[in-house]
Amino acid sequence: MDYQDRHVVVTGGTGALGAAVLDALLQAGALCHVPYRSNLVSAYLCSRSAAMTLRRLGSGERIVNVAARQALEHRLGAGSVTYTIAKAAVAALTTSLGAELAKEDILVNAVAPSIMDTPGNRAAMPKADFQSWPTVEDVAAAILFLASPANTVTRGAVVPVYGRS
């Protein structure tokens, strides 16, 4: 996918997934911007700002947020309620904004990865089946497709990226 000279904002770009997304975007020629805030705040502020800017640019633009499996399967959030609430809010933000901006040909989507295969997750769960987890590169590929001009119809979706987990 060609992102040559396209400006891309990657919220959460300092984490394992964010680094993989940034790497893929930079290799595709994108000019990347990486704000950092925790929780739902960066997704909301950046989506709001992006929507205002993209409306001025015209049609064909994309916003892709990152939720989590717990956003779609709330019971998996036992023990991490705050995280689950924040990711569920990102999913709601995505579907609502996707509906609001569809008429302007601005497609808003999110990915909802399960536990990803990262060194930190392996260390925290040494007995888990790492092979069933999606890699950060797998999730980054889903994000890049949703953000690309090749995505012409998917909007308001929260796409599960679970691997075999």
Where in the sequence numbering do the catalytic residues fall? 83
The CA radius of gyration of the chain, in Å to the nearest whole number, is 15
Q: Which residues pair with 7 in a beta bridge?
A: 31
d(CA 63, CA 142): 13
Neighbours of 63 (CB within 10 A): 24
Sheet holding 158-161, edge to edge: 62-66, 107-113, 158-161
Burial of 57 (0-12, 13-18, 19+ CB in 10 A): exposed
- Closest by CA to 143, choosing from 24, 2, 5, 58, is 24
